[in-house]
Amino acid sequence: MKRFIIFAFAMSFILYVSNVASYAQGKGGSHGPDISASHGPDATHGKDADHGKAADHDKTSTNKDSNKSGTWEDRIVQDDKLSAKLTSLLPPGTDLKTAMDGFKNQGQFIAAAHVSKNLGIPFDQLKAKMVGTAATSTTAATAPESLGKAIHDLKPTLPETDVKKEADKAVAQAKEDEKTEKTKQSASK
């Protein structure tokens, strides 16, 4: 009986500790963007190398940002300065909400807007590659691509080293835009 009580207590303690750790990771496990995994050498350098991996670059921002006042899309629209800057990166007449639709997070969208402007890639084509397209009666569905793969597909003559540099540059620009937004948010609190 004594062993059973000790065993039950030990299991309860382990479950408690694992729940506390899970809760902490879900609430504040990240104190800023971390794309360190995307800056190391890639395992492949051939034609199929996927520079600017979406999973790595998606970490620039998530829906769990420190400001809980709505979705990332809502926060961009509510921030006049950021929305004006992003609108200036998009083709004239593009609706900001429509442009954001389909992107996983704020960082991915802002980086795509910068790449479009920096390289002269039509935003709608870049977006279609990055968010994937749904199947229609005349076309097949396509899977979402990383920023680097989308750049490579739309600018095939651009050397892969330049593709990686451009993806990294756009991610850095997105981080700077997000930092400006977060600085503004903390100043207004």
Are 122 and 116 contacting, i.e. CB atoms less than 8 angstroms apart?
Answer: yes
Domain range for 163 is: 31-188
Please check whether residue 11 lies inside any domain of the structure.
no
| pLDDT for the residue 70 | 84
pLDDT (tens digit per residue) in 76-96:
999 999 999 999 999 999 999
Please check whether residue 91 lies inside any domain of the structure.
yes
Lowest mean pLDDT of 6-10, 17-21, 124-128, 138-142, name the range: 17-21
Please check whether residue 16 lies inside any domain of the structure.
no
Amino acid identity at 48: D
Please check whether residue 144 lies inside any domain of the structure.
yes
Which comes out higher in pLDDT, residue 23 or 98? 98
Please check whether residue 1 lies inside any domain of the structure.
no
Q: Read off the tokens for 164.
A: 């990686």
Please check whether residue 83 lies inside any domain of the structure.
yes
Please check whether residue 18 lies inside any domain of the structure.
no
Percent of the chain whose predicted confidence (pLDDT) is above 70: 62
Amino acid identity at 162: D
Please check whether residue 26 lies inside any domain of the structure.
no
The kind and range of the H/E element at 125 are helix 123-131
Of 6-15, 22-31, 32-41, 154-163, give the range with the top mean pLDDT: 154-163
Report how many domains make up the chain.
1
Q: 181 pLDDT band (50/70/90 cuts)?
A: low
